[in-house]
Amino acid sequence: MNTIFRKSMLSVAGLAFAGGVFAGPIAAHANPVDAKPTAAAAVQSAAPKPQGAQSHIDLNGEQTANVKAIIAATKKAGLPERAAVISIATSLQESKLENLGHLGDANDHDSLGLFQQRPTSGWGTPEQITNPEYSTTAFLKGLRQVDGWQDMPLTDAAQTVQVSAYPDAYAQWEQQATDLVAQHWNS
């Protein structure tokens, strides 16, 4: 191949790649004209797109009840769906939506409940922290104190409240939390 032809082909390939990088995300999210938005789309459109690889677990009855309790507490606090998404993603990371009591040597210090809150850190008594409504309300109180939480990445909002040793871990649960809120917010 001659040099001019090869450079021309590489230029065309580069333009095609750049066009795909810039237009691809737009085209990938384009809706057909007659498509109706779903509840999940409504929750997702109000929030940033989930960051990184996403995790998912199948929920049992207790975990689903805890999702509903988190949503109910969020509504009672007068906060929007985004607050419930952040709360559920946080609980998925901290306890897999299980209301954990004292786990003996497996416990992280004295962490308890859905959010692994610690009595010695001022979250409440063990009885309070293991009450889903109380623990969610306590988490939401902390979330409200984070300036701009509504618009920041989920993992940053959750980390500011939780102060975890693994600050980026919350991001992996955003899609499942978004789907759960879409499924249960109006039920």
At 2-42, the pLDDT tens digits run 444 444 444 444 444 344 433 333 333 333 333 333 444 44
In whole angstroms, give the CA distance from residue 84 to residue 80. 7
Q: Are 178 and 47 in contact (CB under 8 A)?
A: yes
pTM (2 d.p.): 0.73
Higher pLDDT, 96 or 108: 96
Task: Read off the DSSP letter of residue 31.
Answer: P
Give 49's pLDDT tier (boundaries 50, 70, 90): confident
At 54-87, the pLDDT tens digits run 999 999 999 999 999 999 999 999 999 999 999 9
List the structure tokens of 100.
Answer: 């954990």
Q: Are 58 and 97 in contact (CB under 8 A)?
A: no
